[in-house]
Amino acid sequence: MSTSVGVQTCESIKNAMVCLALLPRFLMAAVMFWLLDFLCIRKRVFFRMKEQEDDAIDPPLCISDSNRLFSLESLKAVWHGHKLDFLKAAHLGHGAPNTEVVQLEDQRRSRILDYAKDKRPLILNFGSFVQQNADIADSVVVYIEEAHPSDGWMSTDAPYQIPKHRCLEDRLNAAQLMHLEVPGCLVVVDSMENSSNAAYGAYFDRLYILQEGKIVYQGGRGPEGYRITELRDWLDQYRKRLEKSNNLVIHV
Ligand SMILES: *[C@@H]1O[C@H](CO)[C@@H](O)[C@H](O)[C@H]1NC(C)=O
């Protein structure tokens, strides 16, 4: 009895600490959303961002005029994202969480690290943008909970209107739709416990590279941190290192 009270107290203290830690960045995001709902400000900000973007590869941040940003649902989603990011188990240089996922193709249960081959880097893509690096790296797209479900923070910019997944079947069906857009890549879905999402702080979207069971690249929290260019830079560096070591072997 007293231990369960103790555990509960610990939980509440932990929750309170998390809330305190997240409050400043959450309030910042809320104020930003509120400001961006003034279309004149939104246009100016996005125009400036577009000017600064030197690389067209990263998916552009853009929101159509009809989408309101400051709403209860959007704030809930932002809080959820910050919380997952804060509590994630995945950290650069540390072991990669080997969470359970379900293969889209045959609905077989597997684990993240099952997709890593030998010493080859494995790109974990919690998003939909696909880059092919078949020569030096493998990649797997992990479909997690919907960023903009039609019964949550709805967005008219979303390609499909998908409600929150209530069961694995829903999630697999939604992933199937996404798979049609990016055929030819390996897609797995998060379990209904959302364990990969939690372990990797993946919501809304995020990029990782794993190698030999470790996290060797950790992208920022999406959408603003979802940078294909960063991923590409890492792979370019890796390719150079590989070539150098190959040359050494040949010359010996
Ligand atoms: C996982 O995410 C879904 C939303 O896609 C949600 O309905 C469900 O309750 C979550 N599961 C847990 C255990 O939190």
Q: Sketch the domain layout of the chain as residue ranges.
A: 2-251
What's the whole-number mean pLDDT along residues 184-206? 95
Mutational test site, ligand 1, from 194, 195, 203, 204, max ligand atoms within 8 Å of CB: 194
Distance CA 227, CA 184 (A): 21
Helix (H, G, I), strand (E, B) or coil at 252: coil
Residues with CB under 6 Å of ligand 1 are: 145, 164-165, 192-194
What is the torsion angle, in degrees rounded to the nearest 10, for the CA atoms of residue 192, residue 197, residue 202 and residue 205?
-10
What's the whole-number mean pLDDT along residues 76-98? 97
The pLDDT of residue 65? 85
Q: Is the pLDDT of residue 1 over 60?
A: no
Q: Against a cut of 0.75, is the pTM above it?
A: yes
**Model confidence band, residue 116 (pLDDT cutoffs 50, 70, 90):** very high
**Model confidence band, residue 251 (pLDDT cutoffs 50, 70, 90):** low
Q: How far is the CA of 135 from the centre of ligand 1 (A)?
A: 36
Q: Within 13 Å and on the Cβ side, how many CA atoms surround 224? A: 7
Q: How far is the CA of 171 from the centre of ligand 1 (A)?
A: 10
Q: How far is the CA of 164 from the centre of ligand 1 (A)?
A: 8
The pLDDT of residue 54? 64
pLDDT, one tens digit per residue, over 92-110 is 999 999 999 999 999 999 9
- Can you say whether the dihedral through the CA atoms of 160, 164, 166, 167 is positive or negative? positive
Between strands 206-211 and 122-126, the pairing is antiparallel
Distance CA 108, CA 139 (A): 18
Mutational test site, ligand 1, from 165, 178, 189, 196, max ligand atoms within 8 Å of CB: 165
Task: Please tell me the least confidently modeled range out of 45-59, 165-179, 183-197.
Answer: 45-59
Q: What is the CATH number of domain 2-251?
A: 3.40.30.10
Distance CA 10, CA 8 (A): 5
**Model confidence band, residue 89 (pLDDT cutoffs 50, 70, 90):** very high
